């Protein structure tokens, strides 16, 4: 033999460490916030939303008076030093009602997101993971989705009476199937991923599996869906109040104010315009943030984060 | 295989390709090579060597926002492709260059028939009438040796097999009689027997048409079958060029030497293990997908009458082409799929009737094919490694200690415990996946195509790792592979499967060296370059 034979064993694997510069995973909450605040529209949206939240929290300290105090002598006043945005048909201070109304609107928004996420994720996981649950629960969800959300909400409020809690539930229920379907599809998709099978080979139990290996994949779409639900809940609350099926009329909410102002629209359009503008602003900025979130969390964009 | 001096078709001169915006290091640096009429040039390299990027640059297919050619010239029949206008490039693609990709399913439009897709090429680039075009397409289909061309013409891609699809793609590429054919790993997704046919087809068509072929591949077996000349690339640099015989028998560079020597030999190395106790015994296993209907039987038998044993310390290979049911068997043994019948006896207990799989899973572990998807990207290596141990009640500190020790075993430092999977290369990830399985100290390890996705040099390392682990822990391994060369390297016993049945089984040295069944023989013959001994850079000496 003239040639030198190659060594018997292949070259031993070099203990080559991956480059350290990428060692810190650039993910997590901080990166997300930085990402969201990287463009002007989203910065403005965040600023507006922040201001509205601050307004709701600090309502008593913003030069407001009692938002339910009636003063028939001063009905339908214009803007002035006494009443900054005038008074409504009962002589209540419009400015105070708008500031306090932010509390109701935000509470409804946040509450709806919380309730619908809680139940939606639960049903989504159950139906995604267990075939038997899928057949039963999803048919029920399909039924729920077939009924227009507003109609369902009105019916629920009509049955149980109008309080903040019932309105909240009434708005949340139609959102649950949407969340459940989304979570279900993510779980179904991830169920056959090798890493999930690998975990099952390692003896990981059902709930640990869901929590560790499946639910993290739903965070991004849920975050985005959450913002849309938040916005639509504020809208729905306004519509319900406007239709007279919402929160009790004496409670200051933007929807209620618009409902009250309806009869005086020709006389004093500001009564509808002010709360309407607030609803639009809030919904717009939340939707904008949702859009930015969606772009940021898209896996194809994630690499640039 | 010497070609008489003929016209140079493609000339790549000093080409450098960089990321856009210009990165730290160009992807491809100062590459030069020529391809002549009727010649096949193979560009060989491991993943990340820049071989595909180079071929894409020739086609003008580099993603515009990511990569750009920053230096050099690419001359096609004397015309610089890099200076050509987009319209001119489209013309060139039609008349002078054609391309065949790795995955024929994605290269074809799923909602158009095969015939219509080839017809479209003619319609766009010639002035032939519909009847003439049809005639030409049918003729081309015949030339790529497709059976029943009328039926194929009307078939949709999903109705055809992988090999048939690749023939369609080749027909589409060659129907305009291009001067240059670029083939990027065209046979990697195919079975060995199909691969052999496709390679022969390309060679045959090339000889008829005097087409120049640039063949990009990572597989030296394929290279030795088809190449006239070879370009070896490594991390963007051209390592070596030479004729096929020069590179295979006398590589000058160390890297080429290592690359060639990493191709596993077809000669079985391992002797059968002594009569150790049986770890796994599969008896008359059957798996039926779908249900038998009342009138019609729509079910598919993916595995039937499968019986084999794995003894302690033995590596048993199940080999077969895609669709042979080898993975189904592996998944049944792991109980990732429920078998329809038969018994799987693990350490003396039948696991088929088991409802609670937890106790059994402590004793069997599974390594998946794709190291990129078998590790949860959101969990650190340490968390992944310790997961199983914690599930079975080990304390955290103890689990961490064991995980670290196992990482050392697979040649990774324990510090990587806090890293995430995306920070590792494919080979490193597969080593981590192996560590995750081995740390459980199972009696049986199932490796499902565990080295198929890896480069040859990495593959060699991982195979050696399996060998070491077996020697150190006395573990038994059920090794599923389609690659006979790999099986020959590592298996004591071999089970050959075809269409859900066992065709032949026995000691590796018997099955591979003296197969009894015709199917086994055809598999061995189809393996690329069966008569070349890559380790020793010479033809196989048949004397054993």
Angstrom distances, CA of residue B135 to CA of B127, B131, B132, B171:
14, 6, 5, 14
Contact B282, B343 (CB under 8 A): yes
For residue B393, the chain A residue with the least C-alpha distance is A203
Show residues of chain A in contact with B411, CB under 8 Å: 12-13, 15
Give percent of chain A with pLDDT exceeding 90.
21
Contact A237, A168 (CB under 8 A): no
Res B345: pLDDT: 92
Q: What is the mean pLDDT of residues B326-333?
A: 91
In 3D space, the residue among B67, B55, B59 whose CA is nearest the CA of residue B216 turns out to be B55
Q: CA–CA separation, B227 vs B213, rounded Å?
A: 9
Q: What is the mean pLDDT of residues A58-66?
A: 82
Q: Is B541 on the interface with A (CB under 8 A)?
A: no
**pLDDT, greater one: B212 or B106:** B212
Could B368 and A15 be called an inter-chain contact, meaning their C-beta atoms sit closer than 8 Å?
A: no
**pLDDT, greater one: A245 or B396:** B396
Among A209-213, B296-300, B459-463, which range has the highest average pLDDT? A209-213
Judged by average pLDDT, the poorest of A78-82, B78-82, B456-460 is: A78-82
Contact B146, B154 (CB under 8 A): no
**pLDDT, greater one: A4 or B491:** B491
Interface of B with A in 299-358 (CB under 8 A): 334, 336, 357-358
Interface of B with A in 214-253 (CB under 8 A): 249-250
Kindly report the pTM of this predicted structure. Answer: 0.79
Classify residue A70 as exposed, middle or buried by CB count within 10 Å of its CB (0-12, 13-18, 19+).
Answer: middle
In this predicted structure, the answer to whether residue B329 has a pLDDT above a threshold of 70 is: yes
Q: What is the mean pLDDT of residues A249-273?
A: 85
Q: CA–CA separation, A190 vs A186, rounded Å?
A: 6
C-alpha of B235 from chain center: 20
SS3 A89: coil
Res B395: pLDDT: 92
- Residue A118's contacts (CB-CB under 8 Å, 6 or more residues apart) are none
For residue B365, the chain A residue with the least C-alpha distance is A201
The torsion angle over the Cα atoms of residues A287, A293, A296 and A298, rounded to 10 degrees, is -90
Instruction: Identify the band that residue B509 occupies on the pLDDT scale cut at 50, 70 and 90.
Output: confident
In this predicted structure, the answer to whether residue A285 has a pLDDT above a threshold of 80 is: yes
Q: What is the 3-state secondary structure (H, E, C) of A227-273?
A: HHHHHHHHHHHHHHHHCCCCCCCCCCCHHHHHHHHHHHCCCCCHHHH
Largest CA distance in chain A: 116
Count CB-CB contacts under 10 A for residue B318.
28
Res B445: pLDDT: 93
Angstrom distances, CA of residue B74 to CA of A53, B6, B81, B168, B275:
62, 19, 6, 28, 62
Res A298: pLDDT: 60
Among candidates A6, A10, A25 on the partner chain, residue whose Cβ is nearest the Cβ of B461: A10
Question: Is the Cα dihedral B533, B535, B536, B537 positive or negative?
Answer: positive
In this predicted structure, the answer to whether residue B399 has a pLDDT above a threshold of 90 is: yes
Angstrom distances, CA of residue A191 to CA of A139, A212, B376, B459:
21, 12, 12, 29
Instruction: Identify the band that residue B52 occupies on the pLDDT scale cut at 50, 70 and 90.
Output: confident
Which backbone phi and psi does B496 adopt, to 5 degrees? -100, 125
Show residues of chain A in contact with B415, CB under 8 Å: 17
ipTM of the complex: 0.77
Q: CA–CA separation, B544 vs B540, rounded Å?
A: 10
Could B368 and A194 be called an inter-chain contact, meaning their C-beta atoms sit closer than 8 Å?
A: yes
Classify residue A25 as exposed, middle or buried by CB count within 10 Å of its CB (0-12, 13-18, 19+).
Answer: middle
Is 1.10.3720.10 the CATH classification of the domain at A48-70+81-298? yes
Res A2: pLDDT: 40
Q: What is the mean pLDDT of residues B311-315?
A: 92
Q: Is B159 on the interface with A (CB under 8 A)?
A: no
| A109 membership: H or E segment, kind and range | helix A94-129
The torsion angle over the Cα atoms of residues A231, A233, A237 and A240, rounded to 10 degrees, is 120
* A31 token code pair: 């990166």
> Helices A219-242 & A164-172, crossing angle to 10 degrees?
130
Q: What is the mean pLDDT of residues B184-210?
A: 86
Could A6 and B375 be called an inter-chain contact, meaning their C-beta atoms sit closer than 8 Å?
A: no
Res B95: pLDDT: 81
Res A82: pLDDT: 75
- Tell me the pLDDT of chain A averaged across its residues: 81
Res B436: pLDDT: 93
Which backbone phi and psi does A167 adopt, to 5 degrees? -60, -45
Q: Is A24 on the interface with B (CB under 8 A)?
A: no
> Helices B130-143 & B162-174, crossing angle to 10 degrees?
130
Angstrom distances, CA of residue B85 to CA of A174, B56, B91, B176:
56, 17, 10, 21
Could you tell me whether strands B315-319 and B476-481 are parallel, antiparallel, or unpaired per DSSP bridges? parallel
Q: What is the mean pLDDT of residues A43-56?
A: 91
Res A263: pLDDT: 84
- Residue B334's contacts (CB-CB under 8 Å, 6 or more residues apart) are A201, B361, B364, B366, B446
* B484 token code pair: 């006979």
């Amino acid at each position: 033999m003239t040639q030198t034979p190659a060594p018997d064993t292949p070259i031993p694997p070099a203990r080559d460490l991956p480059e350290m510069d990428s060692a810190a995973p650039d993910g997590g909450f901080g990166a997300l916030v930085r990402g969201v605040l990287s463009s002007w529209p989203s910065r403005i949206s965040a600023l507006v939303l922040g201001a509205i939240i601050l307004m709701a929290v600090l309502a008593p300290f913003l030069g407001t008076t009692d938002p339910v105090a009636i003063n028939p002598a001063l009905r339908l006043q214009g803007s002035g030093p006494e009443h900054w945005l005038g008074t409504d048909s009962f002589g209540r201070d419009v400015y105070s009602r708008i500031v306090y109304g932010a509390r109701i609107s935000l509470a409804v928004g946040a509450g709806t997101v919380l309730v619908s996420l809680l139940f939606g994720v639960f049903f989504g996981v159950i139906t995604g993971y267990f075939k038997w649950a899928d057949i039963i629960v999803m048919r029920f969800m399909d039924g729920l989705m077939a009924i227009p959300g507003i109609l369902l909400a009105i019916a629920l409020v009509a049955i149980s009476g109008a309080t903040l809690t019932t309105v909240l539930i009434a708005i949340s229920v139609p959102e649950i199937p949407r969340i459940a379907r989304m979570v279900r599809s993510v779980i179904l998709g991830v169920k056959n991923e090798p890493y999930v099978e690998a975990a099952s080979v390692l003896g990981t139990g059902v709930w640990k599996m869901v929590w560790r290996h499946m639910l993290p994949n739903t965070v991004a779409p849920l975050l985005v869906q959450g913002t849309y639900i938040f916005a639509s809940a504020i809208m729905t609350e306004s519509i319900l109040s406007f239709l007279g099926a919402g929160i009790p009329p004496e409670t200051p909410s933007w929807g209620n104010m618009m409902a009250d102002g309806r009869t005086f629209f020709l006389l004093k359009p500001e009564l509808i315009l002010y709360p309407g503008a607030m609803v639009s602003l809030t919904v717009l900025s939340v939707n904008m943030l949702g859009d930015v979130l969606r772009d940021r969390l898209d896996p194809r964009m994630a690499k640039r984060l | 295989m010497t070609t008489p001096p003929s016209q140079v078709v493609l000339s790549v001169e000093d080409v450098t390709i960089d990321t856009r915006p210009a990165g730290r290091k160009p992807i491809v640096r100062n590459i030069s090579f020529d391809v002549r009429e009727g010649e096949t040039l193979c560009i060989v390299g491991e993943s990340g060597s820049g071989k595909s990027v180079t071929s894409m640059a020739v086609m003008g297919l580099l993603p515009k926002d990511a990569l750009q050619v920053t230096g050099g010239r690419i001359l096609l029949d004397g015309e610089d492709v890099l200076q050509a206008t987009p319209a001119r490039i489209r013309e060139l693609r039609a008349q002078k260059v054609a391309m065949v990709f790795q995955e024929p399913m994605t290269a074809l439009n799923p909602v158009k028939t095969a015939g219509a897709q080839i017809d479209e090429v003619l319609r766009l680039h010639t002035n032939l009438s519909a009847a003439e075009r049809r005639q030409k397409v049918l003729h081309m289909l015949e030339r790529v040796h497709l059976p029943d061309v009328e039926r194929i013409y009307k078939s949709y891609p999903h109705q055809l097999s992988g090999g048939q699809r690749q023939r369609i793609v080749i027909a589409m590429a060659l129907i305009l009689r291009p001067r240059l054919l670029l083939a990027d790993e065209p046979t990697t997704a195919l079975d060995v027997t199909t691969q052999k046919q496709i390679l022969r087809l390309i060679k045959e068509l090339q000889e008829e048409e005097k087409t120049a072929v640039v063949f990009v591949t990572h597989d030296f077996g394929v290279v030795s079958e088809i190449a006239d000349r070879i370009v070896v690339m490594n991390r963007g640099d051209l390592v070596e060029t030479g004729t096929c015989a020069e590179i295979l028998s006398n590589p000058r560079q160390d890297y080429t030497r290592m690359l060639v020597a990493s191709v596993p030999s077809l000669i079985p190395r391992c002797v059968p293990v002594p009569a150790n106790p049986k770890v796994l015994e599969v008896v008359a296993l059957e798996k039926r997908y779908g249900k038998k209907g009342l009138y019609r039987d729509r079910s598919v038998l993916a595995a039937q009458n499968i019986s084999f044993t794995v003894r302690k310390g033995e590596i048993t290979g199940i080999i077969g082409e895609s669709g042979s049911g080898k993975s189904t068997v592996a998944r049944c043994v792991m109980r990732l799929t429920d078998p329809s019948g038969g018994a799987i006896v693990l350490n003396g207990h039948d696991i088929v009737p088991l409802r609670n799989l937890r106790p059994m899973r402590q004793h069997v572990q599974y390594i998946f094919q794709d190291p990129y998807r078998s590790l949860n990207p959101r969990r650190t290596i340490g968390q992944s490694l310790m997961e199983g141990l914690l599930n079975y009640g080990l304390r955290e500190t103890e689990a961490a200690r064991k995980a670290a020790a196992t990482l050392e075993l697979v040649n990774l430092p324990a510090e990587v415990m806090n890293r995430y999977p995306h920070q590792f290369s494919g080979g490193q990830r597969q080593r981590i996946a192996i560590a995750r399985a081995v740390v459980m100290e199972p009696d049986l390890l199932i490796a499902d195509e565990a080295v198929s996705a890896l480069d040859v040099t990495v593959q060699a390392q991982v195979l050696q790792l399996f060998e070491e682990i077996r020697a150190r822990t006395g573990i038994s391994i059920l090794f599923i592979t389609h690659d006979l060369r790999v099986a020959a390297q590592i298996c004591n016993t071999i089970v050959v499967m075809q269409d859900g049945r066992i065709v032949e089984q026995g000691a590796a040295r018997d099955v591979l060296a003296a197969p009894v069944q015709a199917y086994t023989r055809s598999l061995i013959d189809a393996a690329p370059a069966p008569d070349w001994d890559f380790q020793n850079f010479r033809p196989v000496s048949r004397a054993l």
